[in-house]
Structure 1
Amino acid sequence: MNRNDAAGPIIVFDAECILCTANAQFVLKHDHNRTFRLASMQKEVGAALYRRFGIDPANPESMIVVAGDRLFKDSDAVLAIYAGLGWPWKAVAALRFIPRVLRDPAYRWLARNRYRLFGRRDACWVPSSGDADRML
């Protein structure tokens, strides 16, 4: 994924979901170029981005990545994140060769069952002070 605007793409994620916050922590740790910003769907910026693309922030079906006016969701969002992290993580983006019709149902199943499989936090995850500037 190319960086479409000066501030970089935004990953909107569920900050109460343990799997989702683990992914956000992974991005913060491995995004050495500080390409991505993150927004929790529980906060106004994240909720507004979901609504902008017709997704109910109270019951989202997918984590999303917003790059300018472009939306990545479902498995495309995951692949866009890995593509933006650089090597060796960028190699995961090669999974785009698998048709979306096969990738997305697996992603959606995981997204629907994320709380049951991985758990839910009582409060939203908050990043360290060193990464606070990357949160919207």
Structure 2
Amino acid sequence: MTPTFVFDGDCAFCTMCARFVERWIPTSAKVVPWQFTDLGALGVSRSAAIDAVQWVSPPSPVLAGPEAIAALLRSSNVFWKPIGWLLALKPVRVAAWPLYRWVARNRHRLPGGTAACAVPPSK
């Protein structure tokens, strides 16, 4: 199965980031909005897809958030691969999660973001 990077296609900021990946980060992975893919076949729940980007590359476990971004970067070329390995280091990953959560909560305020980008508050 081809590795798949899943993002929120209803979010303009997320879509802008996905287009950056498609244009500037060479990878064999499919970059797809969760709204237009079979999440069940990927082993990703709808709530997980809403919560964070997902990296699906069987037989490896599904990765989310900064770990998914690190895996995507590691699947790329000699320029991006070291950045992916750096992001995958535990101390960096631990620091990246709060930043990722902040971006996710505020993505409607970021460049390209719209009110539709806002993540509904969790219950």
2: CA distance, partners of 1:121 / 1:87: 37
| Structure 1: distance between partners of 2:95 and 2:25 | 28
1:97 to 89, 95, 101: 89
Q: How much has 1:44 moved relative to structure 2?
A: 4.3
Runs of 4+ in 1 over 6 A off after TM superposition: none
Mapped contact 1:83–1:92 kept (Cα < 8 A): yes
Q: How many residues align?
A: 112
The 3-state SS of whatever aligns with 1:38 is strand
Flag the structure with more relative contact order, 1 or 2, with Cα contacts below 8 A and sequence separation at least 6: 1
Deviation sequence 1:70-105 (CA, Å, 0-9, x none): 211011011111111212111211232352322111
Query: Contact (CA 8 Å) 1:11, 1:63: kept in 2 or not?
Result: yes
Aligned partners of 2:80 and 2:12: how far apart in 1? Answer: 21
RMSD: 2.6
For 1:29-67, what per-residue CA distance to the aligned partner results, in whole angstroms no more than 9, with x for missing partners? 2354x511122122242x4368x344516x721011111
Segments of structure 1 that go 5 or more residues without pairing to the other structure are: 123-136
Cα distance in 2 for partners of 1:115, 1:48 equals 27
Unmatched 5+ stretches in structure 2: 117-123
Give the Cα separation in 1 of the matches to 2:8 and 2:99.
18
Provide the secondary structure at the position in 2 that maps to 1:48.
helix
Matched-pair identity in % = 28
| 2:77 paired residue among 61, 76, 86 | 86
Q: Could you state the TM-score of these two structures normalised by the residue count of structure 1? A: 0.67
